[in-house]
Structures are given as structure tokens and as C-alpha cells.
Amino acid sequence: MPESWWGNAIFSLIPTIVLGLLFWMVLRYIIRGDRTARLEYDRIEAEERAKAGLPPRGSADASASAPSPAPAEPAPASTPSPDDPAR
């Protein structure tokens, strides 16, 4: 173990830096692997949809969304809403 202050500081920081880099690398590999798996799944899904004669996923979502119904009328003023505290 080093006797000088600087040597002791460096000796104590090296394990922290190495573990931090190892943690960063593991998280990076996990995130990249997830992204790659999602892209591959989307590619396979697009191929299967094409084989089945279905439209691509993006166009199916746009055409399936129907206009939303008109908003309901507000409750009468005499009826307290559930958010109001009891009086």
C-alpha cells in the first residue's frame, strides 16, 4: 500500500473507476441488446404481416383509430365531484 497521499488517493480510486466502467459496459450491452431484439422482432412481424396480406403496422394503427365520441356533459353543480373534500 502506498505511503504518499497521492499514491493512496490513486490506489483507492482505481477500484471505483474500474467497477464504474464495468457497470457502464454491462448496461450498455443490455440496452443495445434490447434495441437490437426489438428491431429484429419488428422486422419479423412486418414479414409475417406481409405474408398474411395485412397492411403494415403503422398504417393499420392510423386507420383503426376512430374519432373519439363527444365529451360527456358535466355533472350538475349541486352534485359534488369525487375529488371535492366532504363538507
Which grid coordinates belong to 86?
A: 366532504
pLDDT of residue 48: 95
Angle, CA 14 vertex, CA 24 and CA 3 arms, to 5°? 170
Q: pTM for the full model?
A: 0.52
pLDDT of residue 76: 59
Q: 64 or 8: whose pLDDT is higher? A: 8
pLDDT in tens, 14-58: 999 999 999 999 999 999 999 999 999 999 999 999 999 999 888
**Contact between residue 56 and residue 46 where contact means Cβ atoms under 8 Å apart:** yes
**How many helices, marked H, and strands, marked E, lie in the chain?**
2, 0
Give dist(CA 22, CA 36) in Å, integer: 21
